[in-house]
Structure 1
Amino acid sequence: MSVARLLAEGANLGPKGAKMDVPPALSFSDEDKIGTIQSHDDALMTTLRIKGYDVKRVMVDQGSAAKIMYPNLYKGLNLRPDDLTAYDSPLVSFDGKTVILKGQIRLPVQAGSKVVEVNFIVVDAYSFYISIVARPWFHALEAFSSTLHQNVKYSSGGRIEEIQLKASELPINGSVEEAKCENLEKVVIGDDPEKFFQVGPQLPPKKKEELVEFLSRNVDLFAWDAYEAPEVDPNFICHHLNVNPSIIPKKQSPQRPSKEHVDVVRDEVMKLKQAGAIKEVFYPE
């Protein structure tokens, strides 16, 4: 696929012998498929430098005008609510639901040798992606993309530059290699076979001995199931529901699951209540 403009036949080429600066053609060929898994239906995802940091899992979306920043990046850049400006336009997520907006912030985004200022909309929602860049970023960069080739190209200083996935994230020489993990060695702690650590077999013997001794000495710091870790500090980890706090909860119509299902759910709920992981709350009708 070529996106370069070709000179029309018979066009005025200027005086004979005059030198003309012909811009390089922006195009994609089969060579650009090397390192990708064909055929595929993957979205275009890459790594960009945002506010001086290399940010992975950035989705490149030409079908949208909204540049999105998700909570992981917002926290990772140590941004504060005071850094944001108001943004009131409604935003709908991929699943068709309205997303709660935190605000907007303008940050530099570097792709290769070019830096473009981007207005990110900060949202309070979960996503596999860390951020999304969209059409305005493409237009400012004067870039073209191909999801088939998993590649973005743009002209800079008379040459073609590319934005691709990191080499470490791609198969080598176009072949699909199964990701493999070394066989870990199980180290049982005490008499309970369900309580064990796994260490790498390639670890030097002295290092392995020191690691196992350290883990055994601090075994009381580990939680072996959810019931051993009640009242976790929400500053450490916290699950949020993407709901509008101004909406009054509505009681759902009763469901009629099987008795076996009810018994399992009741036992699990009682365990969580006894562990202090959950508590019962009541809402006015």
Structure 2
Amino acid sequence: MLEDDSGTRPKRARPGTSLVLGFSEEDKRGTMQPHDDALVVTIRIGGYDVKRVMVDDGSAAEFPLVGFEGKSVTPLGMVRLPVQTGLDMVEVDFIVVDAFSPYTAILGRPWLHALGAVSSTLHQKVKYPSGGEVSEILGNQNMARQCMIMAIQHRPEISNLAVAEGDL
């Protein structure tokens, strides 16, 4: 089976069968199990290979946005960028925020639906139909764990601590 630099691997359908997007025990091969890692990939966005992209099938354009610090985040705007997976290109609207995140970008349901893809954090893969084949985007568990460490080590500004101490 061939794999290109983007981590995608095509699987051809047998003649006369339809493509089925699903996961099996075999799809877990090569992953560290058991785990609770986020699905983090490197993917081509706007013509650049972007690392630390979280695939979140629970995310859509939801307001208000809440950052990793638990505070509401005001969007600065929106930018539409092409996201390339193998030979397929999908235009995606990204909400731009000025807030801490261990992830460079988050791809959610709108991208998955536009691509016709399904994702699995357990199997650390995204599967999507492409040219009569099932292609895969492989997650990077080491990168996911680095992102988790960054989120844990991040220290938000402690502006309310002095007020709380004075109230004691």
Same-fold status (TM-score > 0.5): yes
Structure 2 residue 105 is matched with structure 1 residue 131: yes
Q: Which residue number corresponds to residue 39 of structure 1?
A: 34
Q: Which residue number corresponds to residue 112 of structure 1?
A: 86
Aligned length: 141
Q: Which residue number corresponds to residue 102 of structure 1?
A: 76
Counterpart residue type for residue 19 of structure 2: P
Residue aligned with 2:111, SS: helix
**Is the Cα–Cα contact under 8 Å of residues 112 and 162 in structure 1 kept in the other structure?**
no
Deviation at 1:112, TM superposition (A): 1.7
Q: Which residue number corresponds to residue 54 of structure 1?
A: 49
**Is the Cα–Cα contact under 8 Å of residues 142 and 155 in structure 1 kept in the other structure?**
yes
Q: RMSD of the TM alignment (CA)? A: 3.0
Question: Which is greater in Rg?
Answer: 1
Matches within 5 A, 1:1-285: 21-66=16-61, 90-165=64-139, 252-255=163-166
Deviation at 1:22, TM superposition (A): 2.9
Distance 1:253 1:146, change over 3 A: closer
Counterpart residue type for residue 66 of structure 1: A
Higher strand share: 2
Residue aligned with 1:57, SS: strand
User: Higher relative contact order by CA 8 Å / sep ≥ 6: 1 or 2?
Assistant: 2
CA distance in 1, matches of 2:68, 2:46: 26
Q: Any unmatched runs of 5+ in structure 1?
A: 1-19, 68-88, 171-239, 244-248, 257-285
What is the aligned-residue identity percentage?
56
**Is the Cα–Cα contact under 8 Å of residues 66 and 133 in structure 1 kept in the other structure?**
no
Q: Structure 1, residues 55-78: CA drift from partner, whole Å, max 9, x if none?
A: 0110000011039xxxxxxxxxxx
Q: Structure 1, residues 70-97: CA drift from partner, whole Å, max 9, x if none?
A: xxxxxxxxxxxxxxxxxxx532224431
Q: After the TM superposition, which parts of structure 1 deviate over 2 Å for at least 4 consecutive aligned residues?
A: 93-96, 253-256
CA distance in 2, matches of 1:133, 1:107: 12
Q: Which residue number corresponds to residue 266 of structure 1?
A: none
Compute the TM-score of the two structures, normalised by the length of structure 1: 0.44
Residue aligned with 2:67, SS: coil
